[in-house]
Amino acid sequence: MTIVVGFVPTKEGRAALARAVEEARTRQTTLVVINSNRGGRDFDDDTTKAAEAELQRAQDELTSDGLTVEVRQLVRGNEPAEDLIAVATETDADLIVIGLRRRTPVGKLILGSNAQRILLDAPCAVLAVKA
């Protein structure tokens, strides 16, 4: 059993990680934390270092709590949804946890493209949380 969580250093990403940790503890399973970035010129050296430092802090904290955690920083040119679905398939995940941003009343009619794709194409259950 594995739980895959999409993590970005935002309040939504931290909410998703916190909920995924709860699920991993309850199910006594491995947690795979994914930070997916398309790369390109907006993903410079400073951004890379900041993301890696945040992921390392999360891994250190979670492993010290006794969880089995795997952290992956993916910069492959894919959309985050593609990476999360691929890792969920590869690890035979039981659950994917994602964070959702708050939307305006009109924006609530549609989800973000990554969230929508994960919900529709995931090979397992998806838990979407708000900050």
| Domain at 104, CATH number | 3.40.50.620
How many structural domains compose the chain?
Answer: 1
Q: In the block, which residue shows the tokens 């997916």?
A: 36
Q: What is the pLDDT of residue 56?
A: 84
Read off the pTM: 0.84
One pLDDT digit (tens) per residue for the chain, 131 residues: 899 999 988 899 999 999 999 999 999 999 999 988 765 555 566 766 777 787 888 888 888 878 899 998 887 778 889 999 999 999 999 999 999 887 665 555 555 678 889 999 999 999 999 98
Q: Which domain holds residue 100?
A: 2-130
Distance from C-alpha of 60 to C-alpha of 130, rounded to nearest angstrom: 24
List, in sequence order, every beta strand (DSSP E) within 7-124.
30-37, 69-75, 95-100
Helix axis angle, 113-121 to 80-90, nearest 10°? 30
